[in-house]
Amino acid sequence: MSRDDTHVAGYGLLARLGKRVLRPGGAELTETLLARAELTGSDVVELAIGRARTTREILDRHPHSYVGIDNDPDAIAAARRALPRQGSFLVTDAASTGLPDACADVVIGEAMLTMQGDHAKHAIVAEAARMLRPQGRYAIHELALTPDTIDDATKTTIRKALARSLRVNARPLTIVEWQALLARHGLVIDHVDAAPMALLQPRRVLADEGVAGTARFARNLLTHPDARRRVLAMRRTFRTHHTNLTAVAIVAHKAEPKTS
């Protein structure tokens, strides 16, 4: 395994090993999120497209228009090659996209706010709200802490364990805190769905990747011992804290402006 693989963020390592579904609640929770977001015929903006797995699922639902955003030029280039003439793709920052006000019916972001500090979380949600038309939907799928009454010391312990394991400063919120974050920016909660955080459990891997994908992922783990050690360490972290980790999908809409 290269030095790069040793230090790359956990989700990047999993992608290199062939894992395609990298969302905390798996493909099933994403399916629920997209169904609730009402994409057909809508103008959609997707933030942090990554490997464009969700992008394909969005496009399969026939939006009126689609714009995919990522700050990684390689991710955008790969999406343009894989999905020519299917929407547009921009290399830009999710907190400052440069897109017009009220340009979208739906803004979607998966597994990206968790990786941001508090200031960046607010900046990204504010940008999503700015892009939405009144009654437009913001749909997120993130890692969450549970229960909502979890104490601060336990939160800190879990966040430190995730940072060590994932090589990224993961800062999940409780489900109530995720809702409060959206509400701070004028978004009204419509739907909240949760699922176990079982990203590396064999049953979830099989459900998300299928037989061929699971076999590919397992083969790569067997042939890359250093990578395997890192993946097993990630799974141990998830198992150690499983009672306090969950996945959440939230859809909220932008309230109509108040009239005087």
Q: What's the pLDDT score for residue 3?
A: 47
Residue 259 lies in a domain: no
Q: What is the CATH number of the domain that holds 25?
A: 3.40.50.150
First and final C-alpha spacing in the chain: 63
Dist CA 138 CA 132 (whole Å): 8
Dist CA 255 CA 82 (whole Å): 36
How would DSSP label each residue in 76-93?
HHHHHHHSTTSSEEEE-B
pTM summary value: 0.95
Please name every residue paired with 70 in a beta bridge, in sequence order, or none if there are none.
91
Dist CA 89 CA 30 (whole Å): 21
Q: What's the pLDDT score for residue 260?
A: 57
Q: Residue 253: CB partners within 8 Å, gap ≥ 6?
A: 135, 136, 137, 138, 187, 188, 190
Count structural domains, the chain.
1
Residue 79 lies in a domain: yes
> How does pLDDT run across 228-256, given as a tens digit for each residue?
999 999 999 999 999 999 999 999 999 98
Please name every residue paired with 195 in a beta bridge, in sequence order, or none if there are none.
247
Backbone dihedral angles phi then psi of residue 44, each to the nearest 5 degrees: -115, 135
Q: What's the pLDDT score for residue 229?
A: 92
Using an 8 Å Cβ cutoff, are 24 and 247 in contact? yes
Q: What's the pLDDT score for residue 141?
A: 98
Residue 258 lies in a domain: no
Q: What's the pLDDT score for residue 118?
A: 96
Q: Three-class SS of residue 193? A: strand
Q: What's the pLDDT score for residue 99?
A: 98
Q: Give the sign of the dihedral formed by CA 127, CA 129, CA 132, CA 138.
A: positive
Please name every residue paired with 247 in a beta bridge, in sequence order, or none if there are none.
143, 195
> How does pLDDT run across 123-152, given as a tens digit for each residue?
999 999 999 999 999 999 999 999 999 999
The helix or strand, by DSSP H or E, that contains position 55, with its residue range, turns out to be helix 53-59
Dist CA 164 CA 156 (whole Å): 12
Residue 257 lies in a domain: no
Q: What's the pLDDT score for residue 257?
A: 81
Q: What's the pLDDT score for residue 247?
A: 98
Q: What's the pLDDT score for residue 4?
A: 67
Q: What's the pLDDT score for residue 79?
A: 95
Give residue 211's domain range.
3-251
Burial bucket for residue 7 (CB in 10 Å: 0-12, 13-18, 19+): exposed
Flag residues of the chain having pLDDT under 50.
Answer: 1-3
Q: What's the pLDDT score for residue 1?
A: 43
Residue 260 lies in a domain: no
The helix or strand, by DSSP H or E, that contains position 246, with its residue range, turns out to be strand 245-254
